[in-house]
């Protein structure tokens, strides 16, 4: 049995000197405002997996109101989501991801990001794809107010 899930996330820029995307620490002249590390790509990925499982979303699983999640690495949360996927008897067929933003350019960190996800979710290189795009100056990402990501995942019963 196959199931599909979609995830979307956005975070607003604030003060800072780096951002974390897919577990890669990327030097930048701003940071992202968030309860966790503001890793928009990982948040969208987790929501896609949880959506495919019919398990709600990361807000339900890791509530903002819970102090234990303050500043936590989103990769740690992804590991928990991967454990839920495994425990429910599913595996990932493929993941397709779109990172949306003008700056910083993240594709030079693409291999590091994909490898982080492959390690945590235990999947092959051909099962995960990362793309980067801008919105041509339009909207909140175009005005460089923040970053966004969209992810689609297909899972199947093991
Ligand atoms: Mg988020």
| DSSP-assigned states of every residue in 119-145 | HHHT--GGGEEEEEE--TT-HHHHTTS
CA of 43 to the centre of ligand 1 (A): 5
* Residues paired with residue 147 on neighbouring β-strands, in sequence order: 11
pLDDT in tens, 46-68: 999 999 999 999 999 998 888 88
CA of 41 to the centre of ligand 1 (A): 8
CA of 46 to the centre of ligand 1 (A): 10
Q: Which spans in the chain are helix H? A: 40-53, 58-61, 74-87, 110-121, 139-142
| Residue among 135, 138, 147 nearest 33 (CA) | 147
Q: How far apart are CA 80 and CA 101, in angstroms?
A: 27
What number is the average pLDDT over the span 124-135? 96
pLDDT in tens, 74-94: 999 999 999 999 999 999 999
Give the model's pLDDT for residue 36.
85
Q: How far apart are CA 134 and CA 53, in angstroms?
A: 30
CA of 143 to the centre of ligand 1 (A): 19
CA of 12 to the centre of ligand 1 (A): 10
CA of 153 to the centre of ligand 1 (A): 17
Question: 69 falls in which pLDDT band (50, 70, 90)?
Answer: confident
- Reply yes or no on whether the pLDDT at 147 is more than 90: yes
Q: How far apart are CA 148 and CA 127, in angstroms?
A: 22
CA of 99 to the centre of ligand 1 (A): 13
What number is the average pLDDT over the span 124-139? 96
In this prediction the pTM is: 0.97
């Amino acid at each position: 049995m196959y199931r599909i899930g979609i995830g979307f996330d956005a975070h607003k820029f604030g003060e800072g000197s780096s951002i974390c995307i897919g577990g890669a620490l990327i030097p930048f002249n701003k940071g992202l405002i968030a309860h966790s590390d503001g890793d928009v790509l990982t948040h969208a990925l987790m929501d896609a997996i949880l959506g495919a499982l019919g398990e709600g979303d990361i807000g339900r699983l890791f509530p903002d109101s819970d102090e234990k999640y303050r500043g936590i690495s989103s990769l740690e949360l992804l590991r928990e989501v991967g454990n839920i996927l495994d425990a429910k008897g599913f595996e990932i067929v493929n993941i397709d991801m779109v990172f949306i933003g003008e700056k910083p350019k993240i594709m030079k960190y693409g291999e590091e990001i994909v490898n982080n996800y492959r390690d945590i979710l235990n999947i092959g290189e051909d099962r995960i794809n990362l793309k980067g795009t801008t919105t041509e100056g339009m909207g909140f990402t175009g005005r460089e107010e923040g970053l966004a990501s969209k992810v689609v995942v297909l899972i199947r019963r093991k």
